[in-house]
Structures are given as structure tokens and as C-alpha cells.
Structure 1
Amino acid sequence: MSQNHFNGYTLAYERDEIQFPVYVVALIGAGFTAAAIAFDNVFLFGLALCALGFAYYNYPLLETGRPRLGAGQYGIFVEGLGIISWRAIKQIDLVAINLRGAANNELRITLQEPLERALLANWRKRPIYRFLMRLPWSMAAKNVIRIPLDVFDRPADEIHANFMRIMSFYRR
């Protein structure tokens, strides 16, 4: 099973608000690059590299039609990680985090065993050109996977409810 052919409940990045800042920062980076070349200024070139690096890191947010997260009969699919087996999942929590006055939601998947044994399919090896790009997950502790949900095309509570429903169905 490949990363592009996952069946079940899938989620993609949101289409509306996320793309605009990436395009704006890329345009600003291109402007700084042109100004750096025109004025032969190293400081402007440094600013251009920072802006273009931010746009490069967030480029996956522009690929909105592609599934990034999902659940099916074998487990939970996470892009750039793999398929986490249902039997390896101890619990799935929806956590609200207040960050600088803004409420953000994240899914925390606690594993019963180490990540290497929990993965049915390991997709952590990425092509070299995608190595520095954004991933939709991070490791919080030894066996806890954090997935920020506010960038996806469905509400966080709906995502959590569907994952819990699918997990209870396939764990029987």
C-alpha cells in the first residue's frame, strides 16, 4: 500500500485561508531577491532567503487535494509517517491548546509500543527535495504523536469523533 492509495476517511489541508500567506511570503521573497540583485545587497539577500525558506517549508499547504491524514481498516494514516496499527494505539485525545490568545486543537495519539513496532507501513523516508518541508505530525514524548488539526479541512471535534468511531469499529 502506498501513501497515495489510502482508502477510508481521509483529510486534506484546508483550501481557504492557509494558501494566502504562503503565496504572499513567496512573492515578498522574490521581491527581496530582485532588490538584492539590483542593489548588490547581502542583507536583502539574507531576507530573501528567510522569506523563500518559509515559503518552501510551508509548500505542502498549497497541495490541498492530497490526503494528509486518515483512518481505515488497518489503522491511522499520517503523511510522512506511515500507517499506525489500531492494536498499537493506546488512546486518541483531542487537546485544546491556548497559544498567545488563540485556541489551537491537536490530536494526540498515545502508542502502547515503540513507534517502529506500531507502524504497519513506514513512510518516514522522504525524497531529498521534500526533506525540509512541513510534516503534519511531530513526536511529543517517547510514544505520543501530535497532529495539529486546525490546518485540515474539517473541524477538530469531527475529526476526533470519526477517528474514535473508526477505531472502536475495527478494534473489535
Structure 2
Amino acid sequence: MKSTPALDQKHPHGYTVAYEREEIQFPVYVVGFVSACFAVAGISLDNIFLIALALIAFGFAYYNFPLLETGRPRIGASQYGIFADGLGIISWRAVKRLDLIPIEIRGTASNELRIMLQEPLDRALLADWRKRPFYRFLMRLPWTKLGDDVIRIPLDVFDRPAEQIHQNFERMMAFYRR
């Protein structure tokens, strides 16, 4: 499917949310630095264990690299529907319900947005952005899929409060579904 400028992944319109700019980047930088230190020590000492640790740490830093790209919109909503980086644009007509779910994991509270679809994801997408370049294939996505009709988006890593994101999505859905 060819994207029109309004459905373009690089220039989204409407309400957009990016990754948080504060403390979320620090662990990625630290793990990248630790990976480099392990690699240098492993190569200079000819220690396979340190090289293995360097590869594991590098894999973690590589997976979380998108957290460093803070200015780029990752999720949002427009007149066409809800969009997520690496997923596409889900039509407003295909959205059954938007739920803000609080989740308690090991004493830490977090929030996730659950998008319940009325039809399978393949039919709900107006623009399909799931094909990514090879070098980004193993990197973090801002969404996960639960079955064919539920999309989960953890909201605590974004630069706006979870309640605000949910309220804006609900408001836009009510307006554009009229």
C-alpha cells in the first residue's frame, strides 16, 4: 500500500507522543558503556566469558536503542485513527474500546493502553508499517499484540501521563467516529 502524506510514518499529524526524555535513556547508555568495557577486557585478556557478557549487554542496549530517539513520535492519533511506530494506523471504525489498565508488577504500578479491535488486525490497519528495515528488526516496539484483536501499549515510558494519553485518544475517537 502506498502511503499518502497524511498517512506517512515519518510525518504524523494530530496528537503524538514520544518516549520520555529524562531518566529512561540513562540505563541504555550505561549498558552500552559496560558492553564496550567487557568487550575490550575480553579481547585484551582473551577471555570468552567477558566477550559473552559483552554480547549480552550489547544485545540489551541494541534492543532498547529506540528509547534514545526521544523526539520521534511513537504513538498518536489523528483523523484516520490510532497509530503506533512499527505497526501502522488502526482505523477508528475498527476500534471497539480503549481501556487504561493499571498493572502491579513486584510492587511497581504501571499503566498500559489496551486497544480492543472489532476485526482482525490485518483488516483494521489503514496503513501497515510492520515491515521494518533489517537493522531495526530486533529493536523495541512501543506495542505488543494479544491475539488477533487486542493491542497492548505500555504508557509509562512516554513523555505524557498515561491518563492524559488515554483521555485524548478517547476524545478523538468520540469526535472522529461521529
TM-score, normalised on structure 2?
0.96
Q: Given the alignment of the two structures, is residue 68 of structure 1 paired with residue 74 of structure 2, yes or no?
A: yes
What is the CA–CA distance in structure 1 between the aligned matches of 2:92 and 2:164, rounded to whole Å?
A: 19
What is the CA–CA distance in structure 2 between the aligned matches of 1:120 and 1:140, rounded to whole Å?
A: 19
Letter in 1 for 2:105: L
What is the CA–CA distance in structure 2 between the aligned matches of 1:2 and 1:35, rounded to whole Å?
A: 45
What is the CA–CA distance in structure 2 between the aligned matches of 1:104 and 1:87, rounded to whole Å?
A: 28
Q: State the percentage of identical aligned residues.
A: 70
Q: Given the alignment of the two structures, is residue 115 of structure 1 paired with residue 109 of structure 2, yes or no?
A: no
User: Paired residue for 2:14, among 8, 13, 29?
Assistant: 8
* Residue number in structure 1 paired with 2:44: 38
Q: Report SS of the residue matched to 1:68.
A: strand
CA distances 1:43-63 after superposition (whole Å, capped 9, x unpaired):
000000000000000000000
What is the CA–CA distance in structure 1 between the aligned matches of 2:163 and 2:29, rounded to whole Å?
A: 29
Letter in 1 for 2:95: I
Q: Given the alignment of the two structures, is residue 101 of structure 1 paired with residue 107 of structure 2, yes or no?
A: yes
* Residue number in structure 2 paired with 1:124: 130
In the TM superposition, 1:22-171 aligns within 5 A as 22-171=28-177
Query: How far off its partner does 1:2 sit?
Result: 1.7
5+ residue gaps, structure 2: 1-6
What is the CA–CA distance in structure 2 between the aligned matches of 1:43 and 1:110, rounded to whole Å?
A: 45
**Deviates most, 13-22 or 136-145:** 136-145
Letter in 2 for 1:71: A
5+ residue gaps, structure 1: none
What is the CA–CA distance in structure 2 between the aligned matches of 1:5 and 1:142, rounded to whole Å?
A: 27
Letter in 2 for 1:144: V
Query: How far off its partner does 1:5 sit?
Result: 1.2
Q: CA RMSD in A?
A: 0.5
Letter in 2 for 1:90: K
Q: Report SS of the residue matched to 1:64.
A: coil
Q: Report SS of the residue matched to 1:27.
A: helix
CA distances 1:93-123 after superposition (whole Å, capped 9, x unpaired):
0000001110010000000000000000000
